[in-house]
Structures are given as C-alpha cells and as structure tokens.
Amino acid sequence: MAVACLRLLQCENVLKLRQTPGYMCLFHLKEANFLISCDLSVLCPSGLDAELYYVRNDMVSHYALSFNMPVPTETNSLYFTWYSKSKVDYRLAFFIENPVALSPPSANISSQGEMPRLPSVFRVDMDCSGKLDEEAFLTMQLNLTSHVNYTVLNFKRRKMCYKILFRSVDGVPTPTTSTQVFYISVSVCCIVIFLVAIILAILHLHSVKRVEMEDSVSDSGSSQGLSQPSTQTTQYLRADTPNNAASVTNNHPGSAPILQLAASSFQNPGVPPHETKSYPSLRIEKNDLRSVTLTEAKAKVKDIAISRDRVTLRDVLHEGTFGRIFHGVLLDEKDPTKEKQVFVKTVKDHASEVQVTMMLTESCKLRGLHHRNLLPISHVCIEDGEKPMMLLPFMAWGNLKLFLRQCKLAEANNPQAISQQDLVYMAIQIACGMSYLARREVIHKDLAARNCVIDDNMQVKITDNALARDLFPMDYHCLGDNENRPVRWMALESLLNNDFSSASDVWAFGVALWELMTLGQTPYVDVDPFEMSAYLKDGYRIAQPINCPDELFAVMACCWALDPEERPKFQQLVQCLTEFHAALGAYV
C-alpha cells in the first residue's frame, strides 16, 4: 500500500483542559493512488491544529488507530472527501458501544461499493439520542480492497451526550416554571462566583507582590554526581499552521507515526491586562557578548565583590573544557565561625579572556532579581592575578538535567523514586520563575533543564547560562556563524532572525517540560542542527513522551506555536499546570 497519513484538526482549550467545539481531519494515501479526507462542520475558532498518521511508509500505525478522538457535543456531522485513481472497493460499517445515548449513525453513501475516481464528498451523521447523560463511543470501520491487498481501518470517535429535559414544539422551546427557576438559580450562582473571583484576584495580586519581594537563598546538603547522556531515539510531531497546512513527507531518520496538537490560542479572560499584551521583543546581534571587555565586565560586578580568602573550594561538581563548578564554603564576613555552602563557577588557567568575559557577563543575567524560583549570583571574586569566581547559593541535588538522568538510571530499581506529580510540580516552579522574569521584561534566552538546579526538598530554581556551553557541549551547536547556540531549544524566529522575547522563552519552556517528562532526554536528537529551522518551519515537533498525559502534552504543543503571539503567557501556564497538578493529586 502507498504512503498514508491522517490529518486531524482539533479544538481544545488547554488552559481549562477541556475541548471547545469543532475540528477537522484529513486522511490521505500519497503517491496519487487514492485519498480520503474528512471535514467536521464546525471549524476551530482558535485555529488549533493537529495531525495523526494512521498509515505511513506502508506501515499501519496501531497507536494512531487506537487513539479515540473526541467529538464536540454540538458537532453532529463529519464530511469525508475521497477518491482513488485505481480500482478500490470499499465496505463501510458502524459499531456503537452504547446505542442508548447515541442514535444509529448514518451516511449519505451506500454501505459498499467502489471508491470514486474523482474527489467527492460524503457525510456521516453522529447525533445524540437525548435519552441520557453518557459518553458515547463510535467505531467507523472502512474496509478497502484493491488488486494488491485488503486493508481494514477503524476510526474511533467519542462524544459526550446529554439528556434533553424538554422538547420544542414547532421549533419553539416551551419554557416551564422549573426551567425559569433553574436559570434564575444559575444567574445567582454566577454572580456569587464572580464576586468571589474578584476577591480572590485581589488577594492574589497582593500575594504576588509579596512573593516578588522574597529573596530566595537556600542553604543545604550534598552534591549530585554526573551521568552519561541518553541515546534514545526520538519521535517527532508535525504542527501545521494556517500558512503551512499542506502535507509534508518526513524523510528525517527517527521519525515515526506522530500525534500532533499545536495550539494557536491560549487566552484566559481572568488574566490581568498586563499579561495579555504583546510580548516585548529583543533583537540580539551576533557576538554581542564579545563586545564587552573584561575590564567592563568586572566593573559591573564590583559592588558584590568579596575577598578570595573567604571562599574555600571543596569537590568539583561539574567540569568542562575550560570551566568548572565547585561545591564551596563561604565564611561570614562578620562571624568567621559561620559558614554558608555555595556553588562556585570559575575557569581553568588556560581559559581565554573572551571565555572569562563571557562567564562574567552571562552570570549577571539574573542579578538583582529576587524570587523563590530564581538563583542569581550572590558574590564574585575578581582580584587581580586570580581567575574570577562566581558564587551562588548551594542546592543539594545540583543541576536539574543531571538529577533527572540519575532518576532515569534509578527507575529500574526504584520506580517510585520520582512521580509524575513531582515532575509537574517542578514545571510549575519553573513557570513561576519565568512568569516573574516576564513581568520584569527580562528575557532568559537559554531556558532548559541544564540551567536549573534542584534542592533535596524538590525546590527548583532557574539560574543563568554561564559556562553551560562548556559543561553541556552536546546541547549547543555552531551553525556557521561562529556562535554556539541551544538550537534544539530555540523558537523558529530566534533561529531565523535572532529575535528573542518572552514568547521565545515560552517555546523553550515547552522543551524543558518535555525534558522533565522524559527524565532528561535530548530533544530532536536525530535531527541535524543545520536542518532544525527547516524542520520546525515544515511543522514538525518532538512527539508525546511515553506515559505523558494528553493534557500535559497539549500544554507543550501550545508553547510550540509558530506565531509568537499565539503562545500562552507564563502566568497562564502556571494556572494550567497548577490545576493539572491538583487533578493528579486527587487520584493519589
């Protein structure tokens, strides 16, 4: 059988983790043999786009066929466009799991016959009976027979049906006293809820202001060791946009049948106006960090400089070609008997002046910011004749990426070592820290698990990317412009135009969330870095991780919308993930 794929357009309000009306799907066999497509009567109001391949490269995707797609309650008809250039016989059948809730489906074509040679449309009606409140399950079976083979395709749909309380007479509903009482009660409840929401919003704004003034300095424990990178093959997801809706054949290695959920709208009426405005954009010229001299970089941190004698270096936690991170001890300035554990970032003796300058400059990215989920530098040592040292508060479990990979190695012996709820809690903390940066109009530009640290109480903090290129060289690539960049974490506009904004940070957050759910795997591991921009432009994304809930993957997909304005804001992500975390807790 020729190459085949199914394209499915689905509307979903990811913020509330429930669907909104209407979606469209497309199934077609390539190489001009035959094509089948279906189009639901209601299009997505938000332009949400998704794609699901059922058959590809002569292989039937059992995963895709087993996926039960939801149909909005108000959608009653599905429209299919199909044709075949060669003789193909078909047989159409329907199977209903609960016929009481769903009326028998019907089609405006015969149950068997020959596929048309020219594109034509047929309709399948999927109406609720209105007899009871229940979710109905429908399987549409299409048997295709050609002179070469025989193929059976089962398209699964589910639809929530509701009981009709009263019927209309001559098309005009007959209101009753109980109905009027019902609507009055609903109105009163809505008013009460609205007032409560206003009170909660005021309390929340006050709490946010308190949180922004907190200085999160954490002192504790021991360090984590290192682990080797994972080499697991990654699947990819294709996210067509209105400007890129055509089907594209994937010739990249490691690609497989893929589920696609790409959201173009993540609006929440409850978000304050300052959170729904357009993202501030920052155009970064190449090699802008190298324009700063070492003397200028030292002058910027002179006010937090301390004596080298107050710092004692202990174990080496992480080491690269020219950079090192130590577990150190900082003596109190007033009381030498008091000690504070710190991370110490420094360079080796053979480090160049450019490398030292870059470490100093990048270490200042979060300086002066105070939030419980941020870890800025606290002190520096910049004495003449000595290599500079950057000091940060110590976090017992160290680098988040290395911690996740250790958890993956320990999974076989201790599957309960880290739960899905723990991972979502980490994501919430990262989103909180990034929401604070977005409010302060600070753009991180390198958000990833490697640039976060974690404590022994599961507290996660975002840090700067100083020395990250040296300590994680496989995560950065030079695309011929003599600049190492985190290509696999970057938004398309950043790759093509060097444009950075809070929206590009949202894209990177989606990849970081994917890192959490895969316990530190490398995204797009099978894609050539030089092809990343073309790969993303064609609509491909990393696929849903194993054991990752659909709702959580939909959040990731929203972060990867091609249009920066269509990506969610960090405050919306915090709210969405918090609700999802609470839902997970309800099942524990």
Statement: residue 182 has pLDDT above 90: no
Percent with pLDDT over 90 in the chain: 43
C-alpha R_g of the chain: 28
Q: Can you tell me the mean pLDDT for 491-514?
A: 95
Is the CA virtual torsion 57, 60, 62, 64 positive or negative?
A: positive
pLDDT in tens, 329-340: 999 888 888 899
Q: Which CATH code of 1.10.510.10, 1.10.645.10, 1.10.238.10, 3.90.79.10 fits the domain covering 214-288+396-586?
A: 1.10.510.10
Q: What is the distance between the alpha carbons of residues 514 and 385, in angstroms, rounded to a whole number?
A: 43
Q: How large is the average pLDDT for residues 29-37? A: 44
Confidence of residue 529 (pLDDT cuts 50, 70, 90): very high
Confidence of residue 78 (pLDDT cuts 50, 70, 90): confident
- Going by pLDDT thresholds of 50, 70 and 90, the confidence category of residue 54 is low
Mean pLDDT of 468-492: 91
**Confidence (pLDDT) at 86:** 81
User: Which secondary structure element, helix H or strand E, spans residue 517, and what is its range?
Assistant: helix 502-517
- Non-local (6+) Cβ contacts of 294 within 8 A are 353, 356, 357, 360
Residue 144 has pLDDT above 80, yes or no: yes
Q: Which stretch of DSSP H or E encloses residue 157?
A: strand 150-161
pLDDT (average), residues 484-498: 93
Q: Strand 120-125 and strand 77-84: pairing?
A: antiparallel
Residue 398 has pLDDT above 80, yes or no: yes
Percent of the chain whose predicted confidence (pLDDT) is above 70: 71
What is the predicted pLDDT for the residue at 435? 96
Instruction: Check: pTM over 0.95? Answer yes or no.
Output: no
Q: Are 348 and 335 in contact (CB under 8 A)?
A: no
Return the percent helix, strand and coil in the chain, to nearest 5: 30, 25, 45
What element of type H or E holds 481? none
For the chain, the structural domain boundaries read 4-161, 214-288+396-586
Q: What is the pLDDT of residues 99-119, one digit of tens each?
A: 888 889 989 888 898 888 888
- Residue 531: pLDDT band by 50, 70, 90 thresholds? very high
Say which of 446, 455, 464, 505 is annotated catalytic: 446
Reply yes or no on whether the pLDDT at 287 is more than 60.
no
pLDDT at 85: 78
**pLDDT for position 482:** 79
Amino acid letter, residue 414: N
pLDDT, position 547: 87
For position 207, what pLDDT does the model report? 67
Which is nearest to 455 in space by CA: 212, 291, 255, 221?
221
Beta bridge partners of residue 390, listed in sequence order: 345, 380
Q: 4-161 domain in CATH 2.60.40.2170?
A: yes
Mean per-residue pLDDT for 409-417?
Answer: 62
Q: Name the 3-class secondary structure at 3.
A: coil
| pLDDT for the residue numbered 239 | 45
Mean pLDDT of 124-142: 87
Residues 6+ apart with CB under 8 A from 420: 517, 547, 549, 584
19 neighbors 68 (Cβ within 8 angstroms): no
Which range among 268-277, 281-290, 469-478 has the greatest average pLDDT? 469-478
C-alpha 234: how far from its chain's center? 16
Look up residue 148 and give its DSSP letter: S
Query: Could you tell me which of 82, 136, 90, 96 has the C-alpha nearest to residue 113?
Result: 90
Nearest CA to 571 out of 203, 202, 265, 271 is that of: 271
Cα–Cα separations (whole angstroms), residue 1 to 4, 196, 247? 8, 59, 18
**For 8, which DSSP code?**
E
Residues 6+ apart with CB under 8 A from 350: 322
- From residue 32, alpha-carbon distances to 29, 55, 149, 154, 403 in Å are 7, 15, 17, 22, 50
The candidate with the shortest Cα–Cα distance to 418, out of 397, 447, 432, 395, is 397
Give the pLDDT band of residue 413 (cuts 50, 70, 90).
Answer: low
The pLDDT value given to residue 340: 93
Residues 234, 517 contacting (CB under 8 angstroms): no
E strands, 162-274, are: 168-169, 172-173, 236-238
Query: SS3 of 31, please?
Result: coil
C-alpha–C-alpha distance, residues 207 and 185, integer Å: 33
CB 469 within 8 A of CB 484: yes
Q: What are phi and psi of 105, to 5 degrees?
A: -65, 155
- Cβ count near 13 (within 10 Å): 18
Q: What is the spatial distance between Cα 400 and Cα 32, in angstroms, rounded to a whole number?
A: 49
At residue 305, does pLDDT exceed 90? Answer: yes
User: Helices in 213-338 by DSSP H: which ranges?
Assistant: 273-276, 294-300
Average pLDDT value over all residues in the chain:
76
- Output the CA angle 516-407-584, nearest 5 degrees: 50
Residue 35 has a CB neighbour count (10 Å cut-off) of: 18
446 an active-site residue? yes
Cβ 159 vs Cβ 126: under 8 Å: yes
For residues 545 and 280, what is the distance between their CA atoms, to the nearest angstrom?
Answer: 31
CA 366 – CA 364 distance, rounded (Å):
6
Give the residue-averaged pLDDT of 25-32: 37
Question: What's the mean pLDDT in 359-384?
Answer: 93
Range of 215-229, 242-256, 275-289, 453-467 with top mean pLDDT: 453-467
Q: Residue 415 pLDDT more than 80?
A: no
Residue 333: CB atoms within 10 A of its CB come to 11
Which pLDDT belongs to residue 64?
A: 63
Six token digits for residue 366? 């979060």
* Under 8 Å between Cβ of 191 and 369: no
* Number of neighbours of residue 108 by Cβ within 10 angstroms: 11
